[in-house]
Copies of this chain bind each other. A is one copy, B any other.
Amino acid sequence: MPDLPLSPGSSIGILGGGQLGRMLSQAASRLGFDVVILDPEDNSPAGRVSRGQIVAAYDNETALDVMGRVCDVVTFEFENVPASSVERLARAGALVAPGPMALAVAQDRVSEKTYLNAVGATTVDFAAVDDLEGLRAALDVIGLPALLKTRREGYDGKGQVWIRRKGDARRAWEAIGARPAILEARADFERELSIIAARGRDGAVGLYPPGENVHEGGILRTTTAPATLSPAVSRRARAIAEAVLDGLDYVGVMGIELFALKGGRLLVNEIAPRVHNTGHWTQDGCACDQFEQHIRAIAGWPLGSFEAQARVEMTNLLGPEVEQWRTASGEAGACVHLYGKGEARAGRKMGHINRVLGPARQARAR
């Protein structure tokens, strides 16, 4: 096990070479760490800005053994890391953060919601669904409309389907591949918010001021932060962050998506045990962004500041929208972030623009 806090010059491993890995790698480099990426795609966006990349599958045992020996701490940019890979890395000598408990909870939507409710972070009503008969029974309990999602995997709106009439049960069950699922009640929400929180190895928890999100077709379009929240809602957001991260003995940054109901009630929609698209605004709104915050946490450094210095609107550039760099590059207050991805396929996250709207008016939520 490495000595903590990890000294500059130590190596940090990242499973996943996409844009989140790339921005984590850049933050780690700023703090003087060397970074090694594991990704099956050669010359991945993250690999191109890192000391090295191991090109292999995420469950390749030789690759994991090398990674575990070479790196002092290993983290990941996506939550579907096989549990066996985490065990293998730990056996080879690396600390892995966030740990196996957070992964297990986040990989299964039923475990996730069960955990959340257990620590007092309320969610919509839900039921586990194992077969078509179970789905029909669940619809009687949950009511209509209801959202059927696979228990595992699926992101950006994939692997989920709305059921509006009881007669649609079979079609929905087949649409998600007739796999173990969760049926969720609809949340009658006013706004979608998210919390980007971090917990250090010493147990300290902090959170950035929550942002307000706009999704289209299940994909995030914009986050505007800090969102305007009453003091009571801010306190509730902090209580959720503390309960969720403490309960998992979590180390690192977590994204927590919320439904804000009329009257100020907050329901947790889902959690992601990693840096999060709705936290990209911190790059140009805060002295310490979510990527540095994550690296600080997993390296055993003290957490950085969570204070917002500016109000920022973050806009994702999807597919061909990446061409907006041409106009945005000439726009005052627009910070362009591009991921170095080649093909601009429809819906692919190619970059984002952080537009600084002005100084932060809201007191920090920490």
Interface residues of A (CB under 8 A from B): 5, 8-9, 22, 25-26, 29-34, 43, 48-51, 284, 287-288, 296, 301-302, 305, 309-310, 322, 325-326, 329-330, 332-333, 335-340, 342, 351, 356, 359
| Given A29-B48, A31-B337, A33-B340, 11 more pairs with CB closer than 8 A | A9-B340, A22-B29, A26-B49, A30-B337, A32-B339, A32-B340, A32-B351, A49-B50, A284-B287, A287-B333, A287-B335
Once the chains are docked, how many angstroms separate the CA of A305 from the CA of B333? Answer: 7
Once the chains are docked, how many angstroms separate the CA of A215 from the CA of B309? Answer: 31
Once the chains are docked, how many angstroms separate the CA of A325 from the CA of B326? Answer: 39
Contact of A34 among B5, B29, B48, B51 (CB under 8 A): B48
Q: Which residues of B contact A322 (CB under 8 A)?
A: 8
Q: Smallest distance from the beta carbon of A253 to chain B beta carbons, Å?
A: 17
Q: Are A51 and B51 in contact, CB atoms less than 8 angstroms apart?
A: no
Contact of A305 among B25, B31, B33, B332 (CB under 8 A): B332
Q: Which residues of B contact A287 (CB under 8 A)?
A: 284, 333, 335, 356
Q: Are A296 and B49 in contact, CB atoms less than 8 angstroms apart?
A: no
As for how many copies of this chain the complex holds, the number is 2
Which residue on B lies nearest to A339, using beta carbons? B32
Which residue on B lies nearest to A359, using beta carbons? B359
Q: Smallest distance from the beta carbon of A142 to chain B beta carbons, Å?
A: 44
Q: Which residues of B contact A30 (CB under 8 A)?
A: 26, 336-338
Q: Which residues of B contact A309 (CB under 8 A)?
A: 309-310
Q: Smallest distance from the beta carbon of A178 to chain B beta carbons, Å?
A: 41
Which residue on B lies nearest to A354, using beta carbons? B287
Q: Which residues of B contact A310 (CB under 8 A)?
A: 309
Q: Which residues of B contact A351 (CB under 8 A)?
A: 8, 32
Q: Which residues of B contact A31 (CB under 8 A)?
A: 325, 336-338
Q: Smallest distance from the beta carbon of A237 to chain B beta carbons, Å?
A: 22
